[in-house]
Amino acid sequence: VRFPEDLEDENTTFNPEYSHQVFGDDEVAFGYKGLKILLYYIAGNLSTLFRIEYTSKVNEKFDCVEADDVGSKIREIIPPGFCTNTDDFVSLLEKEVNFKPFGMLLHTYSVHNEEAGEDITYQIYKADMTCPGFREYHERLQTFLMWFIETASFIDVDDERWNYFLVFEKYNKDGATLFATVGYMTVYNYYVYPDKTRPRVSQMLILPPFQGEGHGAQLLETVHRYYMSSPTVLDITAEDPSENYVKLRDFVLVKLCQDLLCFSPAKLMQGFSQEMVMEAQQKLKINKQHTRRVYEILRLRATDMGDAEQSRSYRLDVKRRLIGPYKKKQRELAKMRRCLRPEELTNQLNQIDINMQHEQLEESFQQLVSDYRRVLERLAQA
């Protein structure tokens, strides 16, 4: 909500992707007709208005059943101090002009908005719990995780090893410049013996009204660039990354790596090398596993897949990596031959069909190439 009229505007409304963490696996609230759970957030500081509406509700006295206490379920995840009255919320909205982003400005960029017919400016900040008011703001911000990340959990903000990176949109209201929350990322700095750290991306969310505009890539690249300048950082990883995050990371890392000398077309065609691993880690804080994916994507770009020899060479190169788990199964099978009785061995062999392995390997390869092509298409448009 930026203006009072946004309270009635369906265009500013968005729905949760998940509600199982609040309402159980069935995502059901029992005992209501026409139930609406309404959460309004002021765009910048995220002050909250919470209301429940319904047309009817089961009555314990007459229906002998009790409706779910929806209010208490929501209050478990939103911090105290929220409004329940629209007038109170609108009076807070008038003070929004005083809200300023927290922490240190890292990056400013703009995105052209077709609807508005102009470029809109965005800024990325790094904050921590010593910033006045940030602790309370973060409590309100993290409530979005419950609705948009399937396995979300709230973090221990008293642990000083957390870093917070925030994206804001700059907008004008009555001649003043205001800021709207776009999204954020939390990063935990793990200790690596003897004197390094390994930042691990924990949670990342771009709010639905801003998705598909490139903010996730801007945020991830800014975070990488922030850590790249630190001699104590070994490399950057992610905790249990989603499929979408992996695609985003592929794009950002390829964009960062494509100009390194070790990824020149000539060197790509010679195969994956230790030089690539070293340079990507030292200059860009990228680990070996991610560097290998970057190599495969950039080698695909340098390969003429219409040329039988080049195409075969690329396919074999990627499949050599993909076959790792299958080779492990074969080693296990060799052990079984030494240990199991013939009838037990036959049972195990039935589970490890070689033809099936080849089919799965080819399927994995084709899926990977499809994903890689999408990264290269996005890169060509960037």
Cα(91)–Cα(84) distance, integer angstroms: 13
Per-residue pLDDT band at 352 (split at 50, 70, 90)? low
Cα angle, residue 215 at apex, residues 213 and 220 outer, rounded to 5°: 145
pLDDT over 90 at 359, yes or no: no
- pLDDT for res 219: 98
What's the angle, vertex CA 269, arms to CA 266 and CA 275, rounded to 5? 75
Q: Which CATH architecture has domain 100-300?
A: 3-Layer(aba) Sandwich (3.40)
pLDDT tens digits, residue range 298-334?
999 999 999 999 999 999 999 999 987 666 666 666 6
| In the chain, % of residues over pLDDT 90 | 82
| Nearest alpha carbon to residue 96 among 177, 162, 164, 204 | 177
- Residue 347 clears pLDDT 70, i.e. is over it: no
The pLDDT, as a whole number, for residue 274 is 97
Joined together, the tokens standing for residue 215 give 């903010």
For residue 17, indicate whether it is catalytic.
no
* pLDDT at site 268: 97
pLDDT in tens, 169-190: 999 999 999 999 999 999 999 9
Which DSSP string corresponds to 284-315? H---HHHHHHHHHHHHHHHS-TTSHHHHHHHH
Structure-token pair, residue 66:
């009790």
CA dihedral 368, 370, 371, 372 (to 10 degrees): 80
CA 336 to chain centroid, in Å, comes to 41
pLDDT tens-digit readout, 54-102 = 999 888 666 778 899 999 999 999 999 999 999 999 999 999 999 999 9
Q: What is the CA radius of gyration of the chain?
A: 26
- pLDDT confidence bin for 191, thresholds 50/70/90: very high
Compute CA distances 356 → 282, 299, 353, 363, whole Å.
40, 28, 5, 10
| Domain 4-96 CATH superfamily | Histone acetyl transferase 1 (HAT1), N-terminal domain (3.90.360.10)
Q: How many residues does the chain have?
A: 382
What's residue 351's pLDDT? 54
**Which of 35-39, 77-81, 243-247, 329-333 is predicted least confidently?**
329-333
Residue 327 confidence (pLDDT)? 60
Pick from 257, 229, 253: nearest CA to 241? 253
Q: Residue 64: what pLDDT?
A: 76
Contact 206, 182 (CB under 8 A): yes
Residues 30 and 27: their CA atoms lie apart, in Å, by: 10
Q: Tell me, what's the pLDDT at 348?
A: 56
| Cα distance between residue 97 and residue 90, in whole Å | 13
Across 25-32, average pLDDT = 93
Average confidence (pLDDT) over 192-202: 95
The predicted pLDDT at position 15 comes to: 95
249, burial (CB in 10 Å: exposed 0-12, middle 13-18, buried 19+): buried
Looking at 160, 239, 359, 377, which residue is catalytic?
239
> What pLDDT score does 43 carry?
97
Instruction: Please give the model's pTM, rounded to 2 decimal places.
Output: 0.90
